[in-house]
């Protein structure tokens, strides 16, 4: 274990390296540039490659190419770059190519305020690409957790052969704090399924026989027929099917291979929700004011609890319903105009729980006092 003063971006890079990432392609954008900077220094040190690309689309595409060659790959950007990458993200989903994307949230829309932190990509992370897409997106609340969730993003991308997003914020990525880094040799890493039989028996990387299957993927240059990769759906099934049946099967499988594991993927942390009349649902950096508000509310005799969402996608709706069992009202503090609140409202539909938000789009962290004031206002 090593104790270091680390910037959030640096913790993300170290997490990626610990998880086995050895390729990074990127294009600078505030506030994600530091990820590229650290990677440009670290990749050569660990025998990896760093490529400065011409734009965000090129960055994601280069990461996909490296991944097809069997290397764990990552890229990073912020809102405007994430918007540009959507075509490639959809391509990686359809082509089942593992890539980790770090999104360091900044204020938008458009160019917005580059140096202003925000949580404005909650919906874009999942609904950015066209078509019905699965998505795994995790959001850290502390710098130490940024390390561990990056490891998890890499592992999940590999296991499910799908792009994953680390949904973080300028505030966390550009902040420094003391972190205990583990011995990287002891960090658990997962690999993508690779073909085991002879190359002559391997048809292609899309052959699946069940809706939750993640077919083995051969690395480029190893003799397996894996050269042909496209963003088009690969209607492949071991059994005989019509084209329409195969298309239905493949599209459903892309989603089901993730959806079937929703319970283990949807990570949350519940604080004093067992008896909570008031539920705060928060993620990322805004968990901290929510927890402080809970303590202030409890001191005043208001039974408040916090559900922190570690996973944003697949959305942890079960955990929200569980945490809201006794709740009369829910408050969602977030650094946007109510993206998470919409999802919470959907999860609690029919429960009769009143839901409101505390929303900041000025890039200043929400204060516990504001959350408490909203709570008291709603209780009145």
Site for other proteins in 152-171 (CB under 8 A): 171
- Does residue 4 interact with other proteins by CB under 8 A? yes
- Does residue 284 interact with other proteins by CB under 8 A? no
- Does residue 189 interact with other proteins by CB under 8 A? no
What are the residues facing 355 on neighbouring strands?
Answer: 330
What whole-number distance in Å separates Cα of residue 7 and Cα of residue 231?
36
Distance from chain centroid for Cα 212:
20
What are the residues facing 168 on neighbouring strands?
Answer: 104
Q: How far is the CB of 143 from other proteins (least distance, A)?
A: 9
* Interacting residue with other proteins among 40, 204, 351, 365 (CB under 8 A): 365
- Does residue 288 interact with other proteins by CB under 8 A? yes
In DSSP notation, 46-81 reads: TT-EEEE-SSHHHHHHHHHHHHHTT--EEEEE-HHH
* Tokens standing for residue 359: 């929303």
Q: Which span (175-183, 218-226, 256-264, 328-336) binds other proteins, by CB under 8 A?
A: 175-183
Q: Which is nearer to other proteins, 296 or 302 (CB)?
A: 296
Contacts of 166 (CB under 8 A, 6+ apart): 12, 100, 101, 102, 103, 137, 138, 139, 140, 146, 149, 150, 153
Q: Which is nearer to other proteins, 153 or 174 (CB)?
A: 174
Q: Please, what is the Cα angle at 210 between 244 and 237, to 5 degrees?
A: 45
- Does residue 251 interact with other proteins by CB under 8 A? no
- For residues 344 and 281, the answer to whether their CB atoms sit within 8 Å is yes
C-alpha closest to that of 59 among 85, 98, 33? 85
- Does residue 291 interact with other proteins by CB under 8 A? yes
**x/- site string to other proteins, residues 103 to 122, per CB under 8 A?**
-----------xx-------
What whole-number distance in Å separates Cα of residue 227 and Cα of residue 345?
45
- Does residue 272 interact with other proteins by CB under 8 A? no
Q: How far is the CB of 30 from other proteins (least distance, A)?
A: 8
Q: Which is nearer to other proteins, 177 or 345 (CB)?
A: 177
C-alpha closest to that of 173 among 149, 151, 148, 140? 140
Site for other proteins in 317-356 (CB under 8 A): none
What whole-number distance in Å separates Cα of residue 24 and Cα of residue 42?
10
- Does residue 292 interact with other proteins by CB under 8 A? yes
Phi then psi for residue 132, to 5 deg, are: -85, 110
* Interacting residue with other proteins among 9, 124, 139, 285 (CB under 8 A): 285
Q: How far is the CB of 360 from other proteins (least distance, A)?
A: 12
- Does residue 298 interact with other proteins by CB under 8 A? no
Q: Which span (72-80, 259-267, 303-311, 363-371) binds other proteins, by CB under 8 A?
A: 363-371
- Does residue 178 interact with other proteins by CB under 8 A? yes
- For residues 167 and 139, the answer to whether their CB atoms sit within 8 Å is yes
- Does residue 3 interact with other proteins by CB under 8 A? yes
- Does residue 49 interact with other proteins by CB under 8 A? no
- Does residue 361 interact with other proteins by CB under 8 A? no
What whole-number distance in Å separates Cα of residue 140 and Cα of residue 131?
27
Q: How far is the CB of 367 from other proteins (least distance, A)?
A: 7
Residues binding other proteins (CB under 8 A):
3-5, 114-115, 171, 174-178, 285, 288-289, 291-292, 364-365, 367-368
């Amino acid at each position: 274990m090593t104790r270091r003063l680390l910037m959030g971006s640096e913790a993300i890079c170290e997490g990626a390296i610990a998880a086995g990432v050895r390729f990074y392609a990127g294009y600078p954008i505030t506030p994600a540039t530091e990820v590229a900077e650290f990677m440009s220094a670290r990749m050569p040190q660990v025998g990896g490659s760093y490529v400065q690309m011409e734009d965000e689309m090129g960055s994601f595409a280069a990461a996909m190419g490296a991944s097809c060659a069997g290397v764990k790959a990552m890229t990073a950007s912020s809102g405007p770059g994430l918007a540009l990458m959507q075509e490639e993200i959809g391509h990686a989903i359809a082509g089942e190519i593992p890539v980790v994307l770090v999104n360091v949230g900044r204020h938008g829309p458009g160019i917005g305020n580059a140096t202003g932190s925000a949580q404005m990509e909650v919906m874009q992370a999942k609904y950015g690409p066209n078509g019905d897409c699965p998505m795994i997106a995790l959001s850290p609340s502390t710098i130490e957790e940024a390390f561990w969730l990056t490891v998890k993003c890499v592992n999940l991308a590999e296991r499910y052969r799908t792009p994953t997003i680390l949904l973080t914020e300028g505030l966390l990525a550009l902040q420094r704090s003391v972190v205990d880094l583990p011995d990287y040799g002891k960090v658990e890493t997962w690999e993508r399924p690779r073909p085991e039989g002879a190359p002559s028996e391997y048809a292609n990387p899309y052959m699946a026989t069940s809706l939750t299957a993640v077919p083995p993927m051969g690395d480029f240059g190893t003799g397996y027929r894996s050269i042909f990769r496209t963003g088009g759906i690969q209607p492949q099934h071991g059994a005989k099917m019509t084209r329409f049946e195969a298309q239905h099967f493949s599209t459903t499988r892309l989603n089901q291979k993730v959806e079937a594991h929703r319970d283990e993927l949807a990570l949350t942390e519940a604080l004093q929700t067992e008896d909570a009349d008031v539920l705060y649902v928060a993620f990322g950096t805004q968990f901290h004011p929510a927890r402080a508000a809970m303590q202030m509310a409890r001191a005043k005799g208001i039974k408040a609890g916090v559900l922190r969402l570690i996973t944003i996608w697949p959305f942890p709706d079960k955990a929200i319903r569980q945490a809201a069992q006794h709740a009369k009202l829910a408050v969602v503090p977030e650094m946007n105009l109510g993206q998470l609140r919409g999802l919470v409202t959907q999860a609690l539909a029919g429960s009769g729980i009143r839901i409101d938000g505390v929303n900041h789009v000025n890039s200043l962290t929400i204060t516990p006092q504001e959350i408490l004031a909203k709570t008291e206002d709603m209780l009145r």
